[in-house]
Amino acid sequence: MSDFDLVIKGGTVVTASDTFRSDIAIKEGEIAALGHNLGSANREIDADGMLVLPGGIDAHCHIEQESSTKLMTADDFYSGSVSAAFGGNTTFIPFAAQHRGQSLRDVVKTAHDRAGPKSVIDFAFHLIISDPTENVLGQELPALIMEGYSSFKVYMTYEMLKIDDHQMLDVLSLARRYGAMTMVHAENNDVINWLSERLVTRGYTAPKYHAVSHNPIAESEASRRAIDLARLADAKLLIVHVSAPEAAHAILNARNQGLPIYGETCPQYLFLTADDLDRDGMEGAKFCCSPPPRDKAGQEAIWRGLTNGTFQVFSSDHAPYRYDETGKFSAGPNPTFKKIANGVPGIETRMPLLFSEGVGKGRLSLNEFVALTSTNAAKIYGLHPRKGAIAIGSDADIAIWDPNWKRTISQSMIHDNMDYTPYEGMEVTGWPRTVINQGRIVIEDETLQVERGSGQFLERKTETPTPAAPSDDAPLGPRYTFGADLM
Ligand code: URP
Ligand code: ZN
Ligand code: ZN
């Protein structure tokens, strides 16, 4: 009988902190040993010349999710997870989205019914809270947090999803009490509506005006407000899909004050610009997402944010709506920018794009790449050290990465259920050859190797709430100014 199920030999292991030569032995789905001459195995993989990374964690993606206008994403949990796996991911965290009037319990059950039989990689759920009723805040949400749904997203825009500041304070203070993470889509709804009305009444309805109506000020104002509300509630907060430099500055400024504010950005803000929304005819619809891509200077500011402490998490925000009547044109063939479904796909290209343009072009170290694409998300969302680590006892979630594999991105090689990729024609160097989840080889020889439904649901931990230590220059939350009983 062999000592191990699998040994990965001769590769260079990269974690968020270290880079070293080591073999990895796997037994019963976990990493059992690191070193050399580890013993016999049922199967060996030669990783000579390869980087051996923790499997990616895509912490923001919309899979088999209905929008507030009842539009279903093009990917279900099968196509979405297969595409994620081909891009080096072993875990993803889509949303169980509450629409107004719905019970959170029902929403979570539906998400499980959809994901369990289909996902080929491990999964957890963030909740979306659009209707924080007394029952949601008093019963459902506390119970769900304790059952492992320890993060939830709230919206400051979108008519049917947004909550007001009063409701946001309710959510934040509950999150504070239970050690959960609030994620926020920070854009000022009134600013967007005010600009949109002016544009549409003057006949400016083409896709490019989506970017005009979602002015960076809408994003920076809402980001600063969200940070202030989190300060008031003494709660941690993660601002998702940041695109505007001023919003990034607000996050960095808060973090420099010692506040538990976190930031996420996405490929669309590094590799696309508002000019993409101005492509011929209605092509610009392919690039309509919120917040929208900005300009070249904005891209550079977002790149800087990946290394200067602004952003901890790099997610895809994969929101797949096809370039047809089931997606972008569900409101008709020639919609105004207001009626184009928001979102871009990118779950498979997230890691290769960042590797190629980040590590390959000297903007990021290998360790920063691992932190941004895996380890930090595991830590922030209560999955570490089970996920996001190459360590004895961690799940054997590994991407064996070929740093020299040159590929030209085209939709024909992507495994999602979309009919376009925003990154068509981009040349990238570096892509995973083999992807392993809990010791199961999911991708090998450019082929899916596992059955649908073989991924597992992950319950996530909460953090024991610890108040930020008061110091001379740290702003005090109400726990200190009014007393804990107020919260
Ligand atoms: O445009 C986007 N990002 N659509 C997806 C939904 C969201 O707000 O993340
Ligand atoms: Zn959002
Ligand atoms: Zn999103």
Domains of the chain, residue spans: 56-380
pTM, entire model? 0.96
What local confidence, expressed as pLDDT, does residue 406 receive? 98
Closest atom of ligand 1 relative to the 290 alpha carbon: 1
Contact 347, 316 (CB under 8 A): yes
Shortest CA distance to 221 belongs to which of 191, 260, 201? 191
Rounded to the nearest 10°, the torsion over CA 182, 188, 189, 193 is -160
Torsion angle defined by CA atoms of residues 98, 153, 341 and 83, in that order, rounded to the nearest 10 degrees: -100
Q: How far is the CA of 95 from the centre of ligand 3 (A)?
A: 9
Closest CA to ligand 1's atom 5: 343
56-380: which CATH topology?
TIM Barrel (3.20.20)
Q: What is the whole-number distance in angstroms between the Cα of residue 187 and the centre of ligand 2? A: 9
Distance CA 23, CA 228 (A): 47
Please tell me the distance between residue 241's alpha carbon and the centre of ligand 1 in angstroms: 8
Q: What one-character DSSP code corresponds to residue 335?
A: -
Is residue 424 classed as helix, strand or coil in its secondary structure? coil
How are the residues of the chain apportioned to helix, strand and coil, as percentages rounded to the nearest 5? 35, 20, 45
Model pLDDT, residue 409: 99
Instruction: Give dist(CA 401, CA 399) in Å, integer.
Output: 6
User: For ligand 1, what atom is nearest to the CA of residue 158?
Assistant: 8
Q: Which residues have CB under 6 Å of ligand 1?
A: 62, 185, 241, 289-290, 317, 319, 342-343
Q: What is the amino acid identity at position 439?
A: G
CB 100 within 8 A of CB 160: yes
Would you state the pLDDT for residue 469? 45
How far apart, in Å, do the first and last CA atoms of the chain sit?
A: 58
Alpha-helical segments (H) within 97-207: 104-115, 134-135, 141-146, 165-178, 189-201
Q: What residues of the chain score a pLDDT lower than 50?
A: 466-472, 474-476, 480
Structure tokens at 241: 């899909």
- Among 58, 60, 61, 62, say which to mutate for ligand 1: greatest number of ligand atoms within 8 Å of CB: 62
**Residue 485, pLDDT score:** 56
